[in-house]
Chain A
Amino acid sequence: MSSVHDAKRRLNHRVIVNAEDELKAESAMTLFNTPATSRHKRTVLVIVALMGGLFAVAVPFAKHPLGELEPFLPVLQSALITSEAVTGVLILGQNRTQHSLALLILAAGYFFSAFMAVVHLLSSPGLFAPAGLLGAGAQTAAWLYFIWHAIFPLFVLGYCFVDPRDQAMIGGDTRASGWMAPAMLAGVVALVAGVTLLCTVFEPFLPVIMQGNQDAPAKAAVSHVTWLLSVLALVGLVWRRRQSRLDLWLIVIVCAWFFDVGLAASLNHARFDLGWYAGQVFGLVAALLVLTMLLLENSTLYRQVLAMRDRERCWAIERLRDSERHFEAIFEQAPVGIAHLSLEGKWLRINARLQEVLGGVAQLQTWPDFLDLLHPDDAANGELWRQRMLAGEVDRETQEQRYVRADRSLAWLRITAALVRDMHGRPDYFIAVIEDVTSRRLAENKVHALSREMARLSQLQVAVQTMAALAHELNQPLSAVSAAAKAAKLMLESGHWSTRRLCEMVEASGQAALRAGAVLEDMVSFINQGKMSVDPLDLNELVTTLVDSYRHHHAATDYAIGLDLQAGLPPVLANRLRIEKVLGNLIDNGIEAMLDAGGDGEVRLTVTTRNDRGSAQLSVADSGSGLDPGVVDRIFDPFFTTKSRGLGMGLAVSRAIVESHGGRLWAESPPHGGAVFHLTLPFAP
């Protein structure tokens, strides 16, 4: 297994390395910027040496006259024109992909050369006319020749001095540089026309360099300057760093140019001597050689491009296969079920895990549709889901649905489905990731059942607590009733009884029975809270009446109740009996708190009424020990009590009553001591 992986990794590695090579090759894919190898340099050196040898051989015989061969110049010049023009076109073609100013300059040089050759040919004496066409004078052809051969090296120098790397792109924008080639051609034509004009119309003003077919003395200076320019161009090319193949062939051309000018113009002394013929041939052969080599190079490069395209295709195929293998591995070995479903919900493909989840599948084709396997209640939902995805309302969706296994047992599946579209954006198929979450669902159900049971138990617990509290509160008075009755019976039986004592016993017994009744009443009012009738009620009158009855019944007690009632308080909307009960409860609480505290100071309870922002506020303040901060929040809870006696329902019931009137009941413990209970009630409309 690991060796397979290694092999694949090596393969990937190789593919990547190849790709990098090819990327490098791609950025250096033209003659212009393909770096010259040492093999190329050797070839060029051999050619230059060969030309140099021929040149050296020809030099001693340069001035040997050979006689005029009439068809020579037209044939040779025609070939040269064609060659130069084709080379120019070739370089211009390179420029179309390169957008290089250097290449444009070079192409201009070649077109210049071709046009000049045309003009030179036409003006040469004795070819088309005895003195040459274009109104040529005696010096025209010679001057054209020298200007032609002097300016071409200047173009080469221009090419050399424009750095090929920095200037390789003229903006890189085809549109921006599109005008440059026509402009260049126009410039070249203008230049050639100017030169022609100079050498024809202004010919009489030019120095005399030819006397018939013989050289005039001034010719030496002109030809040497021309020659020197060739040398400069050569130096420029050789000087250049990182020569391209094109540079190498330009070296050949400029060398040939050098030998050409040397033989045909500098070292000879007349037309039609050996130097003149050899020079002309030199120039043509070199031009053709370079053209041929350029064409060959071009075809080589083209072959490389084709090979690279093939390699790239292979690489792409390999990558595709690789990604398919990866996908295959993911699909088959994923720990979740994966399925491809047709747009109608038919199974297209499933992985091994899904077979496990759904139960063994023998034949995918004979299997029921996806939706038919779902629980009937969920199938409709699944269909809706399919429609929504097809309509493009949702891209993907996750749902938990029930699935009926082959053995009719129910499984819970968590299904995430997504619609896969083809390259045109049309729905292609569904991909569904399916997990079996049955055990999790069962656990969740168990948790739900347990929490329901918990809730039931805690309700039961409340009921048990309620019962225990009730039982205690009833047991006490009931035991007292029974004991008092027994005491009375014993007293009567003994025969020594006092009426006063007996009355006390019966009275106590009755009180205890009433107390038991009050406990039950508390309970009932808590349970029945909310059902009552309300009437407009004068709160001040209610407080006064209630406090009077306290004063009447507890005349001899050791506490005082003070009133601070706001006159003209509007009536509130309330149930009199219930508010009386609440107020009684608050007063009882206050009194008990103060007596429990047993303080030395004044034991005084104050009841206050106020009109407070649209509702009546009633406060009961005591001078007891106040409320424990930890208790303030809990005193209104049912069964909460700090007292030894009582159900702990009083404040809970009171708050429920006040709130059922649309008011509020709360407590606070002011810093100067005691506790204050406030309640609000809405005014009658």
Chain B
Amino acid sequence: MPLATLAFTIATIWIFLHGSATPGHFFVGLIMALLIIRFLKKSYYQDRAFFRIGSYFRYLRSFTWELLIANVQVLKIVLSPKLSIRPGIIPYKTVCKTPLGVTMLANSITLTPGTLSIDVSDDDETIFVHTLDIDHPDEVAEGIRKGLEEPIVGAVE
């Protein structure tokens, strides 16, 4: 989002953190925001696609669903009397191009069922995914593609 919108967002968060909505506090929040932006401008990633709010909510919905499944699965594996896991590391070819997309995808992979991203190759094309229970590597990749990559591509690319 543009820097001005960012400054106003930070000031609003400051108001909520403080708990009292007076113009004075908003002004203090605005000064804080300007200071933050002044020092962190270089590492701020400008992105036009941030305004696609609808796709963001679609991504959040599918991410929350995957998160719930992931935790139930961890629960099942950990509390079952006999451990039956076949772990392994598989490569996953991503179609995300932007750094933001790859970062979001790698982070989401870690928090969703049975997968954990270990590293991204130098050309940002392959994510190495550690999987808890491999039946077929293709099925795992297909799950990531359907559940995570498509919403992320819709949201930020």
Binding between chains A and B: no
B residues whose Cβ falls under 8 Å from a Cβ of A: none
Interface residues of A (CB under 8 A from B): none
